[in-house]
Copies of this chain bind each other. A is one copy, B any other.
Amino acid sequence: MTFAFDKERHRQGKGSEVEIFEAYLRQKGLKLTVPRRQLLELIFDDHSHFTADQLFDRCRERDVRISKATLYRTLAILTDCKLLSAHDFGGEAKYYEHVFGHEHHDHLVCLACRKIVEFQSPDIEKLQDQAAEELGFAPIHHSLAIFGVCAACAETAEGRKVIEEGQAGPTSVSD
């Protein structure tokens, strides 16, 4: 009952995403509507990470007229069928990214310029599963974000200030 089943095959155009989406809709008794098709096109045609608002703007740019309600509803479906994943790095809005055809990864967030870099660490994954097991938890997913200052920002006054305060300008939030 998993839909992103052929992760082995790597990027192969958005065809697969559409197929997975359609299969999921069918399985749930949902309908493939025009707005959903348009959103799918916009989302998988390129930008692999975005916020709901950025997607909304993009719709307007391309003269695709879709309400925010529909946009959010569609994003929810896409995360449910695991074509997208939603992340919350403590900023204003959630951050969505493609899942299909991408390896699992965690994130480094620059507290000065908010740049986000992906990284992988199989060793960390292993230790996490181990920790969960030790405490009787069946791990389902996890979220690891390292907040710091990127190389570029470490050169700037802003970046140095953040490092000095050892914190994201007063009151940073983590999880």
Asked if A174 and B137 sit within 8 Å, CB to CB, the answer is no
Can you spell out 24 A-B residue pairs with CB atoms less than 8 angstroms apart?
A: A86-B173, A86-B174, A88-B175, A94-B173, A107-B175, A108-B131, A108-B137, A110-B137, A111-B140, A117-B137, A124-B128, A127-B127, A136-B150, A136-B151, A137-B148, A137-B149, A137-B150, A139-B147, A140-B167, A141-B172, A143-B144, A143-B145, A143-B175, A145-B175
Question: Which interface class (under 10, 10 to 19, 20 to 34, 35 or more) fits A?
Answer: 35 or more
Shortest Cβ distance from A56 into chain B, in angstroms? 18
A151 CB contacts on chain B under 8 angstroms: 136-137
SS of A interface (majority): mixed
Beta-carbon contacts under 8 Å, A1-51 to B: 1-2
Copy number in the complex reads: 2
**Interface residue from B85, B124, B135 paired with A108 (Cβ < 8 Å):** B135
Q: Does A171 lie at the interface of the complex (its beta carbon under 8 Å from any beta carbon of B)?
A: yes
